[in-house]
Structure 1
C-alpha cells in the first residue's frame, strides 16, 4: 500500500507553510500529491504551481468537477500538465453533487452516470489526439445547429502519454461499479475496513462488465484518510469531528447526501440523522459533539503512534492500494512514511 498526501481545499486563501510540506512529501518519496476543488480554490492551478516544486510524486486532481469544464478543456489541461510534470499526472474526475452543480455551476445535475461515461470517453479521445466527433446525450461535437461552421478537430499538441490515467471520485454503488468498468482507479472518501467487503463486491461487478478497461490487479483504489497523532485519543478525535459533521450534516441536502450514506452503510443511521438535524438547524457545535469517537475511528487513524500502527494493519488487508493523507503536517507525514515502510 502506497502513501500519498492531499493539500485539500484552501480556506480563505493558500495554506501557510504548504511549500514546506510539499517539499517534505517529495523528499520522503511519497507516491502522490493531490489537490481538491469545490466552489473556492480550483484543483488544476495549485497542482501545477506546487507540483513544479517536486520531482518524484505523481500529481493528482482529487477531484476536477466535471460541470466546471467541458471534457475537451479538461483533456487540454491534462495533456498540458502531463507534459510539464514529465508524465506524472493522475486525472481525478467527479460529478460533485446537485447542490454544487445546480447552485454554483448553473447546470442541471441530470443523469450523472451517463454523463460520466460520455465525459471520460471524450477526454480519452482528446488525449489520444483523435479527430473529435461525438454525438451523445450530453455532449455533441461538432454541435448541431449554431452557425454550421463547426469542424471535427484534433489537438494541436501531441500528448506526452496518449493514455493518461483517469480516476473517478465516487461513493454510491453504481458510481463505484462504473469506475471499475471505465477508469484506471477509484478515489474514495470516508472508506474504512468495515466497508471493504461491500465495495470489493461492487468493484468486481464493474470488472466483470463487457469491455471493462482493467481487472482488479491493474486497478488502483486511493483512500482519503485523516491521520492525527496524539497520545490523547479524544483530543485527536476532536480534530476530525468538525469535518465529519460538515460532510454528514452540511454537505448536501437532507434527502441527498452521498457522504452521509457512507456512515449509514457502516451502521450509524441514527447518529447521522441527529447530526444532520442539528447541523441544518444551525446548531453546529452540537452536531460536531454528536460525532462519536467510534465514528471517527471507522474512517480515520487517530491516537498514539503505536495505536495507529496497530490500526493500520486493518487497512493493509483492504482493497486500498494508496492511503491519501488529508492535510497532514510534516511530523504526520514522517510518522506515516515510517509506519508504512
Structure 2
C-alpha cells in the first residue's frame, strides 16, 4: 500500500465556497485525499460533497462522524448519499467521539462507547449493502429498516481507534483505523495492534511557523484541550507519556487551566505538533509515513501562514 496524503477541510481561514480552487489543485500538489471532521464547525458530509464535484479523482473521508449524534438509520442515509455521489471514493470514518460532544452539546448519553461503535459498524455493513435490518444490538435496536437508495458500491468503513481493543476491532471488522494525537515515534506501537495489512490513518496537526515559542503556545492549548479527555489520557498513558503529562492532569483537575498548559513539557509539544518552517514540517510529516502510517491527514493549525499557502508548500509533488 503506497502512502496517501490527505488534507483536512475546511481550512479555518477560507469559507466553504472559497475552497473550490484549492481543492481542484490538490491532486497536482501531491494530495490524494480530503478528510472532514465533525466537532463544532462544519458537519462531516457537506464539505466532502462539495469536494466530490470539485476534484472528481480524490478520495473523500470522514474523520470522524460520531456514532451517537445521528441515529443508525440516519447515519446510513448520509453515508449512502455520499457513496452515490462519489462511487468508490468515499470512506466513512465513524467513532465514539467524547462525552462533551455527545452529552453536553447534543443531549445524548455517552455509554458503552466500544459497544456502540461496534454495533454501529455491524449495522452499517448490512444497511449499506441494501439489506433490510431488524436486529437487537447491545446498544440499540433497529426494526425493519432498509435504505431506499442503497449505493451500488458500499463505502469502506474505518473506525476511530486509540487503544488495543478498538484498534483490534478496526482490524478485524472494519476497513481501517483512524488514530489521532500521535507522534511519528508512536506509529509502530499502534501499527502492531492492527497488523501490516490494515490501513492506518491519522490526523497530523501542523503549524508552519518558525517561531517555536508561538507554535508551542498554540500546541499547549490544544494538548490541554484534548489530552485531558479520559480516552486520550488513557491513550497517552498506554503510549508511555503518563509521567510527562501527570502535572498537566493534576492542574487541570484542580481547575488551573493556565497551570495545566504551562506544565506540558516542550518535548511533548514537539512530539505531537508538527511545527517549524515548511521544510522542517515536510520532513516531520514524512517521518510519519516512514514509520508505518499509510495516510497522514494534514490539519493546518491557526497561527500558520494562510492555509492555502501552507497546503501548497507542505507535500512534495511526488506525493
TM-score higher than 0.5: yes
Q: 1:18 to 1:259 in 2, by over 3 A?
A: farther
Determine helix, strand or coil for the equivalent of 2:206.
Answer: strand
1:65 corresponds to which residue?
66
CA–CA separation in structure 2 for the residues paired with 1:24 and 1:331: 12
Where in structure 2 are the equivalents of 1:1-341 lying within 5 Å? 1-7=3-9, 17-39=18-40, 41-142=42-143, 152-161=144-153, 163-204=154-195, 216-217=196-197, 219-249=198-228, 252=229, 257-327=230-300, 329-338=307-316, 341=319
Shift, 1:119, TM fit: 1.0
Shift, 1:180, TM fit: 0.9
Determine helix, strand or coil for the equivalent of 1:68.
Answer: coil
1:210 corresponds to which residue?
none
Q: Is the 8 A contact 1:3 1:32 kept in 2?
A: yes
Runs (5+) with no aligned partner, structure 1 = 143-151, 205-215
Shift, 1:36, TM fit: 1.2
Runs (5+) with no aligned partner, structure 2 = 302-306
Q: Deviations over 1:282-303 (max 9, x none)?
A: 5434433333331122223222
Shift, 1:313, TM fit: 4.8
Determine helix, strand or coil for the equivalent of 1:67.
Answer: coil
CA–CA separation in structure 2 for the residues paired with 1:321 and 1:294: 25
Shift, 1:315, TM fit: 2.0
Q: 1:281 to 1:51 in 2, by over 3 A?
A: farther
Determine helix, strand or coil for the equivalent of 1:167.
Answer: strand
CA–CA separation in structure 1 for the residues paired with 2:248 and 2:317: 33
1:209 corresponds to which residue?
none
Aligned residues: 312
Q: 1:228 to 1:301 in 2, by over 3 A?
A: same
Q: Is the 8 A contact 1:3 1:323 kept in 2?
A: yes
With the length of structure 2 as denominator, give the TM-score of the two structures.
0.85
**Greater Cα radius of gyration, structure 1 or 2:** 1
Determine helix, strand or coil for the equivalent of 2:189.
Answer: helix
Q: Is the 8 A contact 1:245 1:288 kept in 2?
A: yes
CA–CA separation in structure 2 for the residues paired with 1:26 and 1:339: 9
Q: Is the 8 A contact 2:300 2:310 kept in 1?
A: no
Q: Deviations over 1:121-170 (max 9, x none)?
A: 1111111111222222223232xxxxxxxxx3532224130x31011111
Q: 1:49 to 1:278 in 2, by over 3 A?
A: farther
